[in-house]
Amino acid sequence: MSLRETIPPLLVIPGVVYAAPVRSPYAHARIVGIGRAAAAAVPGVLAVLAAGDLGVLGERPFGTFLKDQRVLAGDKARYEGEPVAVVVAEDRPTAVRAARLVDVRYEPLPPVVDVERALLPTAPLVHDTPPPLGRQGRWRTVPATNICARVTLEQGSIEQGFREADVVLERTYTFPRVFHFTMEPHGAVASATPTELTVWTNTGHPYQLRQELADMFELDLARIRVVVPYVGGSFGGKSFPKLEPLAAVVSATVGRPVKVVNGVEGSMRTNRRHGARVTVKLGARRDGTLTAKQARVLLDGGAYADLGPVVAEKTGVRQLGPYRVPHYSIEVQNVYTTTTPAGAFRSIGGPQSVWATESIMDELAAALDMDPVELRLVNLVARGETVRAGLRPMDADLGDDLKRLVKAMDDGASPEATGRGVAVGISNPAELPISTAIVRLHYDGSVTILCSMVEVGQGLHTVLAQIVAEELGVPRAAILVVSPDTRFGPYDWSSGASRGVTIVGTAVQRAAQDIKAQLLALAAETAGVPAADAVWRDGRVQVGGRSLSPADVVRGWYGRPAGEVIGRGYVRNLGADPAFWEIGMGGVEIDVDRETGVIRLLSYTGLADVGRAINPQLCEQQDVGAVVMGLGHTLFEEMTYSDSGSLLSASMIEYRVPLTVDLPAALSAVLVENGDGAGPYGAKGMGEGGNLAVAPAIANAVARATGARLRDLPLTPERVWAALRAAGARTRA
């Protein structure tokens, strides 16, 4: 990276003060009173603020899909760790220390920790009144229940489908609540004046955040400035508003710039992935042809909606899997519980869905005595075939992809393997393909790219520069990509959903092509020839017998070393929704220590169908990175809550993420490049798909190695050990 930037925890703003949240120790409790005196008496403390001290800004709810959250809990706390007050001080240590002295009096309420119990008629309500829809909201809560969103998908008649089946299986699979664990926790600095608001933050969504803040502060979009430096990882955990509304409201209240930063423990109380409980019923004919699928999914959405309604919607489609299913009935409910709010996380609803859909495919293969790969090949949708009515027809050759995966596994087969498993994931990413880009060609030939998708470590800036270098014939080193600043940069919808190369890349490519078109017109005008006489060849403009570099054209038209040419690129759709199907397949070879239940990973092969790998190394690293992240929810990770709703695994000592020692001996990614994507040069998006297949592939391998079928993640040694004992007991019986 050629530009040094500072992450929010290190950002220094003159006059900044620090706000330390006071967090609820209860999962669910009415707030009876706030004792401020002891904290306020600490030297250096400027204010001790509860919701009631924030005026109308404390009452105004935010939320992009449902407006159900306030910057500080007012009447009651809805999860352990929810901010109920803040202490503002001249320095952070003072604020943190004084926050411990705030005496909040609570009246504990019964917690709602389990999704099934949350739906009982007797369950306490997390939200007593239905929240209003947010700006992008489509799904309403179900009044007088804890159902935050309910989504159904139907096709044909499942009764008929199950009648036509020779084999019907019904199984329940569970997926844990897991944490993003970005290397950089959330952090924001806000400076509010009556007419303008500036926020420096490590968000992934500067423009979604701008709208939320504009609504809260009743300011025009032009008066909200969101500045985003390089971000130390997001994985969705920094999507939509997080700490920014709190920083902004406190700044408006105390009249100083305010910084709020999380530690890891605070970020574990800010956002996580939806846990899931999936009951799926699958029918097939004796030859393996699927006839019907029914799925009932409960998503554990935590205390606030965040992206939950969209997660439910995407989960519905992702439950279908990549297969031809004539009759289906899918119901997904996102459920409020008194736990950390769940939101976006690398393929929303994807790993939860594929865990169920690809586990039951292997269970079906076993029931039919079929090879699991063969069963999949029989049912995979073909190129051009409908996955779901109204969505883009399948734009990949899934059968060929699966055969390539198996071939790659065969070529590198480990002699020590006692089990092997595969899984096939697809998802409909690239949510709302709306993006804009500005490319500035300077008179020395260098280029500035302004786009507002955030570089969170995925390598977006590298690829955007490659695209512009390709289009304009400018050296890669002469191109600078600027991080988002909504005061100067162009609009972009979001940083997520594998949309960077396809959508933002198209906007940037169009901006570069706009520059090319302008250069031809300007060169012709300068030479005094008709526009059609200027042509583009090999990165140069050929006009009137001369060959001009882009910089020559700029200087020639302005008549001196001055000026620039500004290209613009707009994207509002790429033909159909989704812009592409993201394909993530995986195959694994394992051995199991039957005495301890430890799964030893011998090899993992990922496959990503990327259309065109503009930067193959980045694509491989994205896919492998997603696999490693998937190993977390597969083998180790779980946010464990006590019955009273306390987060037990609330530090990196107790919350186990994958380590280098956990990596398979062989870990590789196959990139399929058919040039068939809607993005630049036939590229499709990728980066999320790699984690789809990990859990079911490994559980399928365990089942083949041992006969024990595990349906609850993570596959800890103890769970595997218990399943082996149960399978052994059944065999003996």
| Contact footprint for another protein (CB under 8 A) | 92-93, 96-97, 100, 595-596, 636, 640, 648-649, 653-654, 656, 716-718, 721-722
Q: Nearest approach, Cβ of 652 to another protein (angstroms)?
A: 8
Q: Nearest approach, Cβ of 263 to another protein (angstroms)?
A: 9
Which CB atom, from 410 or from 654, has the smaller least distance to another protein? Answer: 654
> Which residues touch 78 (CB under 8 Å, ≥6 apart)?
27, 28, 126, 127, 303, 304, 338
> Could you give the C-alpha distances from 689 to 164, 586, 676, in angstroms and in order?
33, 10, 17
Three-state DSSP string of 97-150: HHHCCCEEEEEECCCCCCHHHHCCCCCCCCCCCCCCECCCCCCCCCCCCCEEEE
DSSP secondary-structure letter at 73? -
Q: Nearest approach, Cβ of 653 to another protein (angstroms)?
A: 5
Q: Nearest approach, Cβ of 17 to another protein (angstroms)?
A: 16
Residue with tokens 């002699």: 415
Which CB atom, from 604 or from 655, has the smaller least distance to another protein? Answer: 655
Give the separation between CA 521 and CA 515, rounded to whole angstroms. 10
Q: Nearest approach, Cβ of 28 to another protein (angstroms)?
A: 23
Give the separation between CA 596 and CA 721, rounded to whole angstroms. 6
Compute the Cα dihedral for 280, 284, 288, 293 and give only its sign: negative
Which CB atom, from 30 or from 719, has the smaller least distance to another protein? Answer: 719
Q: Nearest approach, Cβ of 247 to another protein (angstroms)?
A: 18
Which CB atom, from 183 or from 648, has the smaller least distance to another protein? Answer: 648
Give the separation between CA 535 and CA 598, rounded to whole angstroms. 65
> Could you give the C-alpha distances from 437 to 337, 353, 481, 515, 540, in angstroms and in order?
40, 34, 11, 12, 23
Are the C-beta atoms of 671 and 624 separated by less than 8 Å? Answer: no
Which CB atom, from 388 or from 656, has the smaller least distance to another protein? Answer: 656
Burial 287-306 (b: 16+ CB within 10 A, else e): ebbbbbbbbbbbbbbbbbbb
Two tokens, residue 409: 């596994």
Two tokens, residue 307: 């992206």
Which CB atom, from 566 or from 722, has the smaller least distance to another protein? Answer: 722
Give the separation between CA 668 and CA 442, rounded to whole angstroms. 41
> Could you give the C-alpha distances from 707 to 172, 175, 279, 587, 717, in angstroms and in order?
18, 21, 21, 18, 16
Q: Nearest approach, Cβ of 412 to another protein (angstroms)?
A: 27
Which CB atom, from 88 or from 278, has the smaller least distance to another protein? Answer: 88
Which CB atom, from 93 or from 675, has the smaller least distance to another protein? Answer: 93
Which CB atom, from 367 or from 657, has the smaller least distance to another protein? Answer: 657
Give the separation between CA 3 and CA 332, rounded to whole angstroms. 44
Dihedral angle, C-alpha 339, 180, 663, 592, nearest 10 °: 20
Which CB atom, from 275 or from 597, has the smaller least distance to another protein? Answer: 597
Pick the closest to residue 284 from 163, 153, 172, 422 (CA basis). Answer: 163
DSSP secondary-structure letter at 305? -
Q: Nearest approach, Cβ of 558 to another protein (angstroms)?
A: 55
Compute the Cα dihedral for 151, 156, 160, 161 and give only its sign: negative
Q: Nearest approach, Cβ of 284 to another protein (angstroms)?
A: 37
Q: Nearest approach, Cβ of 654 to another protein (angstroms)?
A: 6
Give the separation between CA 461 and CA 463, rounded to whole angstroms. 6
Q: Nearest approach, Cβ of 656 to another protein (angstroms)?
A: 5
Which CB atom, from 48 or from 99, has the smaller least distance to another protein? Answer: 99
Burial of 371 (0-12, 13-18, 19+ CB in 10 A): exposed
> Which residues touch 561 (CB under 8 Å, ≥6 apart)?
443, 444, 555
> Could you give the C-alpha distances from 102 to 31, 172, 259, 312, 472, in angstroms and in order?
13, 45, 19, 38, 59
Two tokens, residue 13: 């703003």
Q: Nearest approach, Cβ of 722 to another protein (angstroms)?
A: 8
Which CB atom, from 100 or from 286, has the smaller least distance to another protein? Answer: 100
Q: Nearest approach, Cβ of 437 to another protein (angstroms)?
A: 41
Which CB atom, from 106 or from 681, has the smaller least distance to another protein? Answer: 106
Which CB atom, from 102 or from 280, has the smaller least distance to another protein? Answer: 102
Which CB atom, from 92 or from 568, has the smaller least distance to another protein? Answer: 92
Pick the closest to residue 537 from 522, 559, 519, 554 (CA basis). Answer: 519
Based on its alpha-carbon atoms, the radius of gyration of the chain, rounded to whole angstroms, reads 27
Two tokens, residue 429: 């990413």
Burial 275-285 (b: 16+ CB within 10 A, else e): bbbbbbbbbbe
Q: Nearest approach, Cβ of 597 to another protein (angstroms)?
A: 8
Phi, psi of 398 (to 5 degrees): -65, -40
Q: Nearest approach, Cβ of 638 to another protein (angstroms)?
A: 10
